[in-house]
Amino acid sequence: MTKKMMSVIAALTLVLGLSSVNPGVSQAATPISQANSTIFGPNVYVFDPSMATADIQNVANSIYHIQEQNQFGTERYALLFKPGSYNVNIREGFYTHVAGLGQNPDDVNITGGFNVDAQWFNANATQNFWRSIENIKITPSNGKTQWAVSQAAPMRRVHIAGSMDLFDFDPYWNAGWASGGYLADSIIDGKIVPASQQQWFSRNSRYSEWTNGVWNMVFVGDSNPPSGNFPDPPYTVVNTTPIIREKPYLYINNAGQYQVFVPSLQTNTKGATWANGSTPGTSIAIDQFYIAKPGTATAASINSALSQGKHLLFTPGVYHLNQTIQINNPNTVVLGIGLPTLIPDNGVTAMKVADVDGVKIAGLLFDAGPVNSPTLLQVGPSGSSQSHAVNPTSLHDLFFRVGGAGIGKADISLEINSNHVIGDHFWIWRGDHGDGVGWNTNVTKNGLVVNGNDVTIYGLFVEHYHQYQTLWNGNNGRTYFYQSEIPYDVPNQSSWMSHNGTVNGYASYKVADSVTNHEAWGLGVYSYFRDAAVKAKSAIEVPNVPGVKLHHATTIWLNGVPGSEITHVINDIGGRVYANSPAGAMRQTVNEFAGTGSGGGTETALSRTGWTVSSVPSSGDVSANMLDGNPSTRWSAGTAMAPGQYLIVDMKASKMFKKIVMDSTGSNDDYARGYEIYVSNDGTNWGGAVASGSGTGAVITASFGQQTARYIKVVQTGTASNWWSIHELNVYN
């Protein structure tokens, strides 16, 4: 037993023993020692209004003291409140789940306060992860609730009788950074102040006012969303939620029995489900659940219970798995309370779901183990083809982690193969800090892969994976809000090239070229190339077909090595982000993208293997440098620009192509002031120019009608004192 665990046990034992050791402390009818003596085990505290307020407060304070900075610890807690009123003030830390046990939020009222601050990190809330609150009313004594959180911190079914701040103040009253967040099925009587909160997703909620925005804020089915035109303010408003099943939750019925409530599937909704009465749905008695507890539950015992038709409830803790948990029965409910964490120890997939109707999985953290897993959660086997339109599987508050708490490896964190799946809040994270973190340590491929058709996802956060953060292969997909940081730790450009090594980096959000219908709202992709001057050609890559539509996309250059950049927002559309100033260098936006059908799929750079280039004039910066994939090398003419200078690319075989891109980034003023492009099959007979133009910046894109040729000749037609130079030249089909 570790010293930390011993101190945790000692602290809580002291608190729970207060009423028996010193009866004067509490005159409650129900001793506080009963709080963690329920069927859910010692890490779940069930409070009753008859317990002494001071005792409840002491337990909450003790747990917060343990969890405030416990970002990668193994301790997990759920604080549950039976119906009634509690005059306590709760601060919530890592791996803590606070919830009311009433049928509806107003059945439990915290009249003191409930807050998440970031004082442990100097008011910086960008690491306030892995905590939640649901099904409860907060009546703050000071009129305000603070919810300074970032990813993996859902607020659901909450009624705040006051206002809410989504950030924290530093000692000088500056708003500290925050990078959240998720709000659903909630009512805030007063206003919400995001201040420095960079992005946010709100669904089926109501508030009196939403006061500002930073980069990307999406509102779906809210009763009274803010108004304004993207990108300033950065609001994306969708009037109704097209299809949703709210997250299942634990409650106590009028007979005092534990039940799990499963909300009904609903379409085209607006506002909170409980605003005008109880949420529609059905209840399942707790005796229909296998209650898993850390230390006693195994993958074998869990699978045995599931095979007998049981549902599954995970209590707080860490579960090491030596075999895959198999969800084979339709309508199975898998519910976690207190951020239970599943770790596959031997390279298995932690959980697999059969291609069946109506499975609900909620409130779990999947943590990759030290042996590589092909997936952490697979929903439907490969090749799933059944229709689940009437009774889809729904996934709620599911979080994935590869590295950070220790060495972890997984090719894909979440793979969705079944059709009609509803995703309702994911944070899929390859660790960028903590333990077991490094380009060759916490090794991955993709965060999310969607192969099923008609999949809808709300509140999608995916970060730092080695290749595409999100790869969408299924048709008729819909995403409402996307937040992504591409990897920080790329060691060099050659280590991070897509399309068989011909395109800089991997798009964060990739829709496969075979997809004919896809739509997404409110997408934000951010870069911080910490270790090298790396470029990503496009933040978002989609096929150029009429059925593909994107609404409100933004790229952000957070920081990085000079020379790093995201070159385009969507495909070849949108400017590059490469510095913190001017404003256009830090943020670029695209309001609307609709595929036109020209070209069919995403343009792809041809492989340049074996190609050669000659130039007139030439210099010590040899022409081969423009084909080497290294952005730090270049070709240059070695003299001032003058008409008649040229270069000839020999592709060694006849190719089909329709565009060339000459990238002079790094020597930004050395682009051709004028150019003409010719093609030839023999290198002698050139014919007329297929394109001409005047360069206006470091990247020159020349598009023309489809050509079939072996040779390409680029002739300089402008004049400048600068030397004409090119770092990389690519040809696209």
Q: Which residues pair with 573 in a beta bridge?
A: 570
**Could you give the CA distance from residue 66 to residue 51 in angstroms, rounded to a whole number?**
22
78, 338 contact by CB (below 8 A):
yes
Report the Cα–Cα distance between both ends of the chain, in Å, rounded: 62
Nearest to 713 by CA among 650, 665, 659: 650
In Å, what is the CA distance from 231 to each residue of 22, 135, 227, 471?
60, 34, 12, 26
**Could you give the CA distance from residue 530 to residue 335 in angstroms, rounded to a whole number?**
38
Helix or strand (DSSP H, E) at 250: strand 249-252
- Torsion over CA: 45, 48, 51, 56 (sign): positive
Rounded to 5 degrees, φ, ψ at 150 are: -125, -135
Annotation marks residue 485 as catalytic: yes
Q: Where are the beta strands (DSSP E) in 456-517?
A: 456-463, 470-472, 477-485, 497-498, 503-504, 509-511
- Return the structure tokens found at 643: 């008409």
512, 498 contact by CB (below 8 A):
no
Name the burial class of residue 135, with classes exposed (0-12), middle (13-18) and buried (19+) by CB atoms within 10 angstroms of its CB.
buried
Question: What string of H, E and C letters represents the secondary structure of 127-155?
Answer: CCCCEEEEEEEECCCCCEEEECCCCCCEE
**Could you give the CA distance from residue 348 to residue 324 in angstroms, rounded to a whole number?**
6
Residue positions counted in the chain: 733
**Could you give the CA distance from residue 43 to residue 418 in angstroms, rounded to a whole number?**
34
Helix or strand (DSSP H, E) at 54: helix 53-67
Set 92, 134, 246, 485: catalytic member = 485
Query: From its phi and psi, is residue 496 left (phi > 0), alpha (psi between -120 and 50) or beta?
Result: beta
Q: Which residues of 188-226 are buried (b: 16+ CB within 10 A; e: fewer)?
A: bebebbbbbbbbbbbbbbbbeebeebbbbbbbbbbeebb
Our CA dihedral for 404, 408, 409, 413, rounded to 10 degrees, sits at -60
Q: What angle do CA 260, 265, 270 make, to 5 degrees?
A: 110
- Return the structure tokens found at 348: 């298995």
Question: What string of H, E and C letters represents the secondary structure of 655-681?
Answer: EEEEEEEEECCCCCCCCCCCEEEEEEC
Preceding omega of 233 cis (within 30 degrees of 0): yes
CB atoms closer than 10 angstroms to residue 534: 28
Task: Tokens 């084979």: give the residue.
Answer: 328
444, 465 contact by CB (below 8 A):
yes
47, 37 contact by CB (below 8 A):
no
- Torsion over CA: 216, 218, 223, 226 (sign): positive
**Could you give the CA distance from residue 389 to residue 391 in angstroms, rounded to a whole number?**
6
Half-sphere exposure for 209 (CA within 13 Å, toward CB) = 8
Give the three-class secondary structure for 3: helix
Q: Read out DSSP for 320-355? A: EESS-EEE-STT-EEEESS--EEEESSS--SEEE-S
Enumerate the active-site residues. 485
